[in-house]
Structure 1
């Protein structure tokens, strides 16, 4: 498992991760999200909703991994979208992707 997935798991254990399309959209609107990760195999409709909302609220979005990989990283079943609510974790994750 790579470092990004390890960071996601750590953030999940710290309670700084939100997953699921509805919950992520709600938290993006509330301004509590610092980074959104979207699975590369997300449906086009989901992709459009998430990217449009992140663009509107100026939240960085990263396309990374499959839904199985993202889910496994946070100890859940398949997850298409994950939001990071902690600025420190968000910065660390962005460093690994760049």
Structure 2
């Protein structure tokens, strides 16, 4: 049997500033009790020789090494731009009045 009581649920709800009706208190008392009991069962079988894990399958970084490769020249990058000026993309202003 867990130590979760309706008074504890009301107290926690008060601390959380949650207004609970009597039916909700009854329901939460039962649900929280079951959760506490389930955690207790897991703690009974947990042993020191079992390493805690955050994921069941070991993960590794799958990104490739950062290597310098071929890059576009400034002219190539701007070749398909609808508008450019002074070696940069030229776009319509998005702030200010209509143009």
Is the structural similarity TM-score above 0.5?
A: no
Task: Answer with 1 or 2: which has the greater Rg.
Answer: 2
Greater helix fraction, Structure 1 or Structure 2: 1
Q: Which has the higher contact order (CA 8 A, sep 6+)?
A: 1
Coarse TM-score class (shorter-chain normalised) = under 0.3
Q: TM-score, normalised by structure 2?
A: 0.21
Greater strand fraction, Structure 1 or Structure 2: 1
